[in-house]
Structure 1
Amino acid sequence: MQGIETYYYQPYAEYPSRINAAYHANPTRLSMSDTLANAIQSSLINATGAQNQGVKRRTFAVLRETTAPAVLLELGFLSNPQEAARLTTSAYQETLANAIVAGIKAYYEKESNV
């Protein structure tokens, strides 16, 4: 495996609605998370040329238990020797960081125009 993938929360029907019902499946937050995930993923792929593993929805607790838009970035596969080597270089880390910032800026620009 290789590449970059981004996750945002997908509501889980079996999750008790009484727990954090005010926000765990909030449609506005989910939509904003989708927009944020796509903006960052696009920026990362454009900046790095990495294989696009896509934007995916999952029920990860780290994405569920939040009141704000949330994403989880997987910036490469350490099981892939070439990616592992690239991920340890300062230059690639800076490229990733700058791409994340650019994606967040693109998200806010899009949200401010809505």
Structure 2
Amino acid sequence: MEKSIEHKTYVKAVLRMEELLKKVGNDTPEYDSQMIELLEVSDVVEKYEENHFPIGLPTLKEMIELRMFEMGLKRQDLATLLNTSASRISDYLNGRREITLKIAKALHQKLNIDSDIILQ
């Protein structure tokens, strides 16, 4: 029963937040009562969503593939950039091989992949 009350509170907060966003702008002072209320209801929404819809870190494979897409790289291009072979890249992406410290450093430096993602 508590979950449905929590959900109702969330729905009310989302609806109120939508109303307030129409009235409050970047030029609204922080001490304005509607701005204060907007911050309060957005906190409720944020806490509910963190508990019910958590978003974890992307996997290393997802980040490598994203960077390859963003940089227009094929596996062979990535292999050259990381000073390894295309088959080794395939092994990393398919989970058949753990990345080495050298490759981890290269992923961080050359593809700007966060170390938390590399180490997970």
Fold agreement, TM-score > 0.5 = no
Normalised to the residue count of structure 2, the TM-score between the two structures is 0.23
Richer in strand (by share): 1
Richer in helix (by share): 2
Normalised to the residue count of structure 1, the TM-score between the two structures is 0.23
Q: Which has the higher contact order (CA 8 A, sep 6+)?
A: 1
* Structure possessing the higher radius of gyration over alpha carbons: 2
